Every structure is written in structure tokens, then in C-alpha cells.
Structure 1
Amino acid sequence: MGFIRKLFALALAVAMAAVGVLFALQNAEPVPLDVLVMILPPRSLALWVLGALALGGIIGLLLSSIAVLRLRARLMSARRQLTNSQLEMDKLRVKGLATRE
């Protein structure tokens, strides 16, 4: 099963690379980029589009990493609280057994 998964991932990576190359070849004309206060020099349209895609992916990863870190911190806090509650419950059980005898 692992071999099939790796083979599928490799085939998907090759297909994505091929699509990227075709996209770059189809969009090779130079285009200047106007960014609010400055105009960047003309580069291929594919470079601008793929650069924007990469930048968006990186920003998305960073933002989701922050959310994951927050959730992990909450999980650790909840686990700590659970451990403390279990210890307290065990102490109360032992106390209850000692008073019955």
C-alpha cells in the first residue's frame, strides 16, 4: 500500500510540474506589475502569477500554523487540568476509603 501511495504522489508531482511548465510557456509575455506606490519591471506573466500563488501559500501556511499553535496550547492546558483533576479525584477516593474503615 505504501508503494502505491508513493507512486501516486510521484505521478501527481510530475503532472503538476508539467502543468507548471506548460503554464509558463503559454504565458511568457512580459507584463509590468503596478503595486500601489511603485511599478515593478516587466517580467513574464507566469512569473507574476506563480509568485502570487507561492506567496499566498506561504501566508496561508503561516496563518494556519498560528492557529495550530494556539490549539496545541489549549490542548496542553486542558490535559494539565485533566491530570490535576484525576490526581485530586484519586486523593479523595483514598480519603473516602480510609474514613469508611
Structure 2
Amino acid sequence: MLKWLKRVLYTILIIFFLAVGVFFAIRNPQLIPLDLVFWQGPELSVALYIILSFTVGACVALLISAIAYLRSERQIRVLTRKYEKARDEVDTLRKASITKELSVGKE
């Protein structure tokens, strides 16, 4: 039931932001050159530069979050191996303890 509500909300948000973007592009048709320290970009509209900056920012954020995700997955694998090794060692010690108790009990 909540899936359709989530989809509707996402659709409304996407339509809203697209409408704001189109309105911004229509209201700001002037061309501006992008002048950085070592590079001067072509004359493009303000809206296009803003859309490009948001797109580059989203890509950088996805890349950084993917790196963090891969690091955490690697750490989970390492810790799982350590846990399994410790669990095996505890099982071995328990078996040795039970065997020792049984052999002492028979005497």
C-alpha cells in the first residue's frame, strides 16, 4: 500500500523540480562565459551551467559513496573471517574440554 504512495510522492517531486528547472531556464536565457583560473569555458546559459554542476556533484557523491560502501563491505568480510576463526577455536576448545571431562570421569 505504501509503495504506490512512495511512487506518487517521487513522481510529484520529480515533476516539481523539472518545472522549477524549466522555469529557471526560461527566466534566465542570457549566456555567460565560465571563467576559471586556468580555463575559460564557452558561453552557455546559466541554467545549463547549474544543471552541469548538479550533475557533476551527483556523480562525485555517487563515486565517494561507492568507495565507502566497498570499504565497509571489505571490512565486513575481514571481520566475518575473524569471527569464524574465533568460533572454530572456541568449538575446538569446548570439544577438548568435554573429552577431558569424560576421560577424567571414567577413571
User: Residue 24 of structure 2 corresponds to which residue in structure 1?
Assistant: 23
Q: CA deviation at 1:38?
A: 2.7
User: Residue 97 of structure 1 corresponds to which residue in structure 2?
Assistant: 98
Output aligned runs, 1:72-91, within 5 Å: 72-91=73-92
Q: Structure 1 regions of 5+ residues with no counterpart? A: none
TM-score (norm 1): 0.91
> 4+ residue stretches of structure 1 with deviation over 6 A?
none
SS in 1 for 2:40: strand
Q: Partners of 1:35 and 1:49 in 2: how far apart? A: 15
TM-score (norm 2): 0.87
Output aligned runs, 1:33-52, within 5 Å: 33-52=34-53
Q: CA deviation at 1:35?
A: 2.3
Q: In angstroms, what is the RMSD of aligned CA positions?
A: 1.2
SS in 2 for 1:42: strand
| Same amino acid, percent of matched pairs | 28
Q: CA deviation at 1:71?
A: 1.3
Q: Partners of 1:27 and 1:95 in 2: how far apart? A: 79
